[in-house]
């Protein structure tokens, strides 16, 4: 069975799952989900009803970082799993406090009890620390940490790109720019039609 990946093009969690699958050189059947019109098969497969959701012959993997690790354990062609343990600490900070602050900055109207400028400062403090860690990559070579975090930094940057570009984070900004200009990014951001039950399979990549 070809694994099935329920995905949504612009979701940073789904983006990082696709990045790892692409890096591993695996092939999945991609089913593009429209979040306001979730198909029944997806809702039956995903315990959380969130993308990404990977369905294999023997498991359902419903967390994006777990999808990344699953793919790289099949075939880690670029050595992304060969990173210091601190990489998982950076990912945890990005997935936790940074993403919390990102959401309350980007979607301030959804969180009336949070003050958007204060939340942006929390996110900025994380990015300033990350800028201090990056030379070309977070460690001395590309790793899981880079590609688990980059989609969320992209999401934050485009809340107010002029403001982001004006911050004193040259290494972080260059790191993000290289990603956005890469063939890798173009490959994961190809557009796919909404999946409906009965459609012919669409393979990714």
pTM above 0.85, yes or no: yes
Give the pLDDT confidence of 139-198 residue by residue, as tens digits: 999 999 999 999 999 999 999 999 999 999 999 999 999 999 999 999 999 999 999 999
Q: Say which residues have a Cβ less than 8 Å from residue 191's Cβ, sequence separation at least 6.
A: 9
Which residue shows structure tokens 């060969």?
82
pLDDT of residue 73: 97
* 86-185 and 4-79+189-204 share a CATH fold: no
147: its two tokens = 């590609």
Please provide the CATH number assigned to the domain covering 86-185: 1.20.1050.10
pLDDT of residue 182: 98
Give the pLDDT confidence of 82-137 residue by residue, as tens digits: 999 999 999 999 999 999 999 999 998 888 888 888 999 999 999 999 999 999 99
> What are the domain boundaries of the chain?
4-79+189-204, 86-185
CATH H superfamily, domain 4-79+189-204: Glutaredoxin (3.40.30.10)
């Amino acid at each position: 069975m070809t694994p099935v990946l329920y995905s949504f093009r612009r979701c940073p969690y789904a983006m990082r799952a696709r990045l790892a699958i692409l890096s591993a050189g695996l092939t999945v059947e991609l089913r593009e989900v429209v979040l306001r019109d979730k198909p029944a098969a997806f809702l039956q497969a995903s315990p959380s009803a969130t993308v990404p959701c990977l369905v294999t012959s023997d498991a359902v993997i419903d967390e994006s970082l777990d999808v990344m690790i699953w793919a790289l354990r099949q075939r880690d062609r670029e050595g992304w799993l060969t990173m210091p343990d601190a990489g998982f600490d950076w990912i945890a900070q990005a997935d936790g406090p940074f993403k919390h602050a990102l959401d309350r900055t980007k979607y301030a109207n959804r969180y009336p009890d949070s003050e958007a400028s204060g939340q942006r400062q929390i996110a900025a403090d994380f990015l300033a620390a990350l800028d201090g860690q990056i030379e070309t990559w977070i460690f001395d070579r590309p790793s899981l940490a880079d590609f688990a975090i980059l989609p969320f930094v992209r999401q934050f940057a485009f809340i107010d790109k002029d403001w982001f570009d004006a911050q004193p984070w040259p290494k972080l900004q260059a790191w993000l720019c290289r990603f956005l200009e890469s063939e890798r990014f173009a490959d994961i951001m190809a557009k796919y039609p909404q999946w409906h039950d009965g459609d012919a399979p669409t393979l990714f990549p």
